[in-house]
Amino acid sequence: MATIYDVLVIGGGPIGLACGIEAKKAGLNYIIIEKGSLTNSLYKYPANMTFFSTSERLEIGGVPFVSNNPKPTRPEALEYYRRVALKFDLDIRLFEKVEQVSGEKGNFSIQTSKTTYQARNIIIATGFYDIPNLMHIPGEDLPKVRHYYEEPHFYAMQNVIVVGANNSSVDAALETYRKGAQVTMVIRGNEIGKRVKYWVRPDIENRIAEGSIKAYFNSSLAAIRPTEADIQTPDGLITIPNDFVLAMTGYQPDFNLLERFGLTLSADEKRLPVHNPDTMESNREGIYLAGVVCGGMETHIWFIENSREHAVKIIRSIVG
């Protein structure tokens, strides 16, 4: 007889793990399916990335997160979530992608890249880090254009354009500049983003003020070619030499997947997946939403900090 799970969690990020832990604590029969490695999004973050949250705000399952730094680093977070998953002996299947969901509450059938599962309830905790926001400009598909930044050494002695002015862009600009890249920032607004980490902001503002990083404000990248790029500035179109473009233009949830699973999205540009904020249940009975996926295009609304409570709400609702 095939196992019928009380809960099947899609996504093994921090919030998917939190859901598994709460389900286990409630004595439910659960499974977590993750298409990549454990905490796949965190694994793909820039190598030297520092969280804006302090470590205790990233804790799940009541397990203390001890960091050696005022704000934890990516390797510390990977270490922490792996230890938590092992401590709770979570039932998690890695490198297995959920492709389709059919049936109804109490009797869902979940098709993955490897097999089919049966579950009474489903939690979607798929995050937003898989699909970059595109600029839709000529040359964006060139191999030198990157939507994910890993580490700076690669860019030494290269002309690098960094698009955007939020945390990812500022981190990439400062790191590559310090490893000998000639960095030009192309920024849509008239200042560095308001959410940039407070201890990083003076650094980038001073580098721009002294001219060691060139920044074009109120500007946008217009076209990219193999050895140069066009920037639309308030003073007109300019062309500069260019080897790499780091397009740190943000990411968005997999809306296609949500719609395929029968979820309704708000009709405005926010594309919020419809859900009850008290239970986190979506428009489809028995299918719940957890973590940053809940914010639709508003990817700055939910963090680990404030969305880890989704796990408790959902399991409380399931247990009744």
Ligand X SMILES: Cc1cc2nc3c(=O)[nH]c(=O)nc-3n(C[C@H](O)[C@H](O)[C@H](O)COP(=O)(O)OP(=O)(O)OC[C@H]3O[C@@H](n4cnc5c(N)ncnc54)[C@H](O)[C@@H]3O)c2cc1C
Least spacing, CB of residue 125 vs ligand X, in Å: 5
Q: Which two tokens stand for residue 31?
A: 């499974």
Q: How many residues bind ligand X (CB under 6 A)?
A: 34
Give the helix/strand (H/E) hosting 99: strand 98-104
Among 4, 25, 52, 179, binds ligand X (CB under 6 A): 52
**53 contributes a contact to ligand X by CB under 6 A:** yes
**Site stretch for ligand X (CB under 6 A), options 21-29, 125-133, 147-155, 177-185:** 125-133
Least spacing, CB of residue 75 vs ligand X, in Å: 14
Residue closer to ligand X by CB (options 14, 139) is: 14
Residue closer to ligand X by CB (options 34, 230) is: 34
Among 9, 20, 31, 41, binds ligand X (CB under 6 A): 41
Angle at 192 between CA 191 and CA 198, to 5 degrees: 135
Least spacing, CB of residue 316 vs ligand X, in Å: 19
Least spacing, CB of residue 64 vs ligand X, in Å: 17
Long-range contact set of residues 305-313: C-beta below 8 Å, sequence gap at least 24: 305/53, 305/57, 305/58, 307/15, 308/14, 308/15, 308/18, 308/59, 308/60, 310/15, 310/18, 310/19, 310/280, 311/15, 311/18, 311/19, 311/21, 311/22, 311/60, 312/22, 313/278, 313/279, 313/280
**Site stretch for ligand X (CB under 6 A), options 11-19, 178-186, 258-266, 274-282:** 11-19
Residue closer to ligand X by CB (options 24, 222) is: 24
**304 contributes a contact to ligand X by CB under 6 A:** yes
Place of tokens 């109490």: 106
State the DSSP code for 181.
Answer: -
Least spacing, CB of residue 177 vs ligand X, in Å: 19
Among 7, 9, 13, 137, binds ligand X (CB under 6 A): 13
Q: List 119's β-bridge partners, or say none.
A: 5, 108
Residue numbers 90-109 binding ligand X by CB under 6 A = 97-98
* Residue 201: HSE in the Cβ half-sphere, 13 Å Cα cutoff: 11
φ, ψ dihedrals at 81, nearest 5°: -65, -35
State the DSSP code for 43.
Answer: H
Which residues of the chain form contacts with ligand X (CB under 6 A)?
10-16, 33-36, 40-42, 45, 49, 51-53, 97-98, 125-127, 129-130, 168, 257, 291-292, 303-305, 307
